[in-house]
Amino acid sequence: MYKIKFIAQKELWHILRDPRSLIIAILMPIVMTLLYGYAINLDIKNIKLAVIDFDKTSASSNLMGRFYNSGYFSEVTDPVSINDPEMILKKGQANAVLIIRQGLGEAIQKLKSMRNLASVSIDNYELGLIVDGSDANMAAAAGSYSSIIISQVIKDNLPLGFEFPGIRISRQVLYNPDLKSSHFFVPGLIAIILMMISALLTSVTIAREKESGTMEQLLTTPITPRQIIIGKTLPYVGLAILDGFLVLGFGGFYFGVPFIGSTLLLFVFGVIYVIAALAIGIFISTIVKTQQLAMMGAMMVTVLPSVMLSGFIFEIKNMPLVLQIITHIVPARYFLLIVRGIMLKGSGIELLWVEAAFLIALAIVLLSVATKLFKLRVS
């Protein structure tokens, strides 16, 4: 432990004396939080919609068909609990739940037989829509698309020349009722920044030792490759965790992003995710010899896939099949679901255990491969 402590202290001094590392570690997370919190707003399609049909008439079947054939919504095969429709949203199996109350068939029939607006009143009928607001763009799109579809259904069933009256849709947005995009992007930034700090800076610092020739000096000392790895990566573990809390605090203070789950659970998963990221950084450092190549390699292997293939910006289900398969080996894919679930929905391990299992398995495999390759290269 004394040898590891010495290497870790040496690496910490390198960080403090290197302005580039400090800029990457401290300033860039704040800049990225501001940029993504303000600037990104995307159109959404293929919204996962679950339906609870209490009406069970041809009118309700036709309405479901209008939703699923619109191109905006996709059908969910998972069962929905009538007593707890919110659970399917917590599990991430659906983005919205449409509740068709009894009376839709009767209301549609009144529309068809209407001769004047004063003779028939159907203003009391409402559809229900429960939306997962943790993705603000998805929630806003679900509400807008639903209103468009309902308006079109009413218009199609009214006699020619009549203005449509109020069959309304009552929308309830959960987890992010104000539909702020920052509530969606800021938690995801934690995954991107942890990956960037852990993998990018780790690969660069080991490559710097090779480039300057000090790695050979380290190997002539009574220090094992395992001790070198632990000592050089420990400061970056602490730095990554510090950045994670920095984004959490900045997002909560500046953007008002809520945190309703377990801090301890997020911390534990964060450490596992950092281990996976560090393993990727170690792996890159073993196959390159210069800092420039290390930085380029880390950007290609970690940061870009974490942004583009994790669901941070683009929905995975909207990607080509080949890319959907590749996303399964991107650690950020699983950590994004975990951090958003804990922060915005208050999800526990009972709902996140699948993502947690995949993340742990990836971390173990990546760390084992990276450590073994590093030992072979430095031996």
Query: What is the pLDDT, as a whole number, of residue 313?
Result: 76
CB 119 within 8 A of CB 165: no
Query: What is the pLDDT, as a whole number, of residue 229?
Result: 76
Q: Which amino acid is at 24?
A: I
Nearest to 186 by CA among 24, 344, 369: 344
Residue ranges in the chain whose pLDDT is less than 50: 41, 115-122, 160-165
For the stretch 26-83, pLDDT in tens is 776 777 676 665 555 455 678 899 999 998 888 889 889 989 998 889 998 888 888 8
Structure tokens at 352: 């996140």
Kindly list the structural domains of the chain, giving each domain's residue range(s) and its CATH number in brackets, ordered by start: 2-39+181-378 (no CATH), 47-174 (3.40.1710.10)
Helix (H, G, I), strand (E, B) or coil at 105: helix
Query: What is the pLDDT, as a whole number, of residue 119?
Result: 46
Query: What is the pLDDT, as a whole number, of residue 265?
Result: 93
Across the strands, what pairs with 173? Answer: 131
Whole-model pTM?
Answer: 0.65
Query: What is the pLDDT, as a whole number, of residue 163?
Result: 46
Please spell the DSSP secondary structure of 314-376, one letter per residue.
Answer: S-GGGS-HHHHHHGGG-HHHHHHHHHHIIIII---HHHHHHHHHHHHHHHHHHHHHHHHHHHH
Query: What is the pLDDT, as a whole number, of residue 164?
Result: 45
Q: How large is the angle between the packed helices 104-113 and 136-157, nearest 10 degrees?
A: 40
Q: Which amino acid is at 150?
A: I
Cβ contacts of 86 within 8 Å, gap of 6 or more: 97, 130, 174
